[in-house]
Amino acid sequence: MADDLLPVDEARARILAELTPTAAETVALAEGAGRVLARGVTARLTQPPADVSAMDGYAVRAMDSAEGATLAVVGTAPAGRPFGGTVGPGEAVRIFTGGFVPDGADAVLLQEDATASDGTVRVNETVKAGRHIRRRGLDFAEGAEVLPAGRKLTARDIGLAAASNNPWLAVHRRPRIGILATGDEIALPGDPIPPGGIVSSNAHALAALVRASGGDAVVLPIAPDDTHAIAEVAATAHAFDLLVTTGGASVGEHDLIQKALGGEGFALGFWKIAMRPGKPLIWGRLGRTPVLGLPGNPVSALVCGVVFLIPAIATLSGLPGAAAPTRRVVTAVALPENDRRADHLRATLSVDGDGRMMATPAQVQDSSMLATLARADALVLRAPFAPALPAGAEVEAVMLAELGV
């Protein structure tokens, strides 16, 4: 009987449904970029705090400022040093950008439209009431929420939080992701490689993916294919918001993850999904810690990282977790009919003479081939049982660089 394989979207939905955002922590404004607000940011002042000039020129009364009029300059109002008096009939105050518009004035005469001489200024262009004045509260008012909870902070947001006088921000703690690579045959880069062994790439690649997605990655010591060794490392799982394992996910007798975690109270959610690469994905819970068991094949581990781990980190960070955004591109080659597993074809992108984005899937799509994955710009998505497509047909693709992967 064929395996029962869970559809990718359903698997992702089940994973995300079991994750809750991390608690709030307070960080200095300068540390806030890229973090997700746990509480909204409220303006602690009104901006601008009064009517201010948007230009260098003269604060005037519009009714006195028709072309040809001459006004007496009775004071100055640079930014930060308001003029204390009132602008009376026939008077003007020299003003600079950001200066408070003095009482009595209702417009600003642009410096370029004025001729100053000896304590007076001549109006060379009629001024309308309200001209070049930024009204009090134009940008925001004290007490208003300027940034909502759940927002991932951009450089623009940091500027707004600063302007509204917020030196501290309440953000979700970066999700702490434990990464456990298993296998007798794997060795850390630079360490002696056992006979028939392979250098572990998964833990490092996944740690980079976690960091690029806003998480803190903790790479655990490699666990050999031995239930006790895996269980021992897994006993630290409570320290993490999510434990990610790689290897030992499949059906081989050395594929020990489920067996090894069993003794620690592992509750299996699901196993095996309709996806290529990545079929033997495991989802479950070890005590209170969710566990995402990724396949050992390096490309499978990373593609599953894109499809499941990045959205999981988003949800833990307080963002809506969702499938990676896709773009419509054109396949440069004919694609065969797909089988029951949603395919993720590693492809390079180029722009053709008509400006169309063309995707060329690698000819060999083996899930051990990291060089092909590193060269790829995109994952071309092929739904289960998608019909054959001719070259030139449109397909959906995930842009890897946009995800920082």
Ligand X SMILES: Nc1nc2c(c(=O)[nH]1)N[C@H]1C(S)=C(S)[C@@H](COP(=O)(O)OP(=O)(O)OC[C@H]3O[C@@H](n4cnc5c(N)ncnc54)[C@H](O)[C@@H]3O)O[C@H]1N2
Look-up: residue for tokens 């998608």? Answer: 386
Determine the Cα angle at 368 with ends 207 and 257, to 5°.
Answer: 60
Does residue 280 interact with ligand X by CB under 6 A? yes
Name the β-bridge partners of 147: 41
Kindly state whether residue 201 participates in binding ligand X, applying the rule CB under 6 A. Answer: yes
Beta strand residue intervals within 295-363, DSSP E: 326-331, 342-351, 357-361
252 near ligand X, rule: CB under 6 A: yes
In the complex, the residues that contact ligand MOO under the rule CB under 6 A are 276-279, 295, 297, 300, 367
- Of the pair 94, 276, the CB lying nearest ligand MOO is at 276
Report if residue 227 touches ligand X, rule: CB under 6 A: no
Q: Is 343 in the site for ligand X (CB under 6 A)?
A: no
Secondary structure element (H or E) that encloses residue 303, with its range: helix 298-304
d(CA 233, CA 263): 12
The closest residue (CB) to ligand X is 296
DSSP conformation letters of 141-159: -TT-EEE-TTPBPPHHHHH
For ligand X, the closer CB: 196 or 355: 196
**Which one of 119-127, 140-148, 277-285, 310-318 is the stretch in contact with ligand X (CB under 6 A)?**
277-285
Q: Which does 247 bind (CB under 5 to 8 A by kind): ligand MOO, ligand X, none?
A: ligand X
Q: Under a CB-based contact definition with an 8 Å cutoff, are residues 158 and 25 in contact?
A: no
Strand, helix or coil at 316? helix
CB-nearer residue toward ligand MOO: 131 or 279? 279
Site string for ligand X, 309-328 (x = CB under 6 A): --------------------
- Cβ neighbours around 89 below 10 Å, total: 10
The verdict on 99 binding ligand X (CB under 6 A) reads: no
Q: How far is it, in rounded angstroms, from Cα 347 to Cα 376?
A: 5
Least separation in angstroms between residue 367's CB and ligand MOO is 3
- HSE of 100 in the Cβ direction (CA atoms, 13 Å)? 15
Q: How far is the CB of 189 from ligand X (least distance, A)?
A: 10
Binds ligand X by CB under 6 A, chosen from 249, 261, 378, 379: 249
Interface contacts to ligand X, rule CB under 6 A: 181, 183, 185-186, 198, 200-203, 246-252, 255, 277, 279-280, 295-298, 300, 367
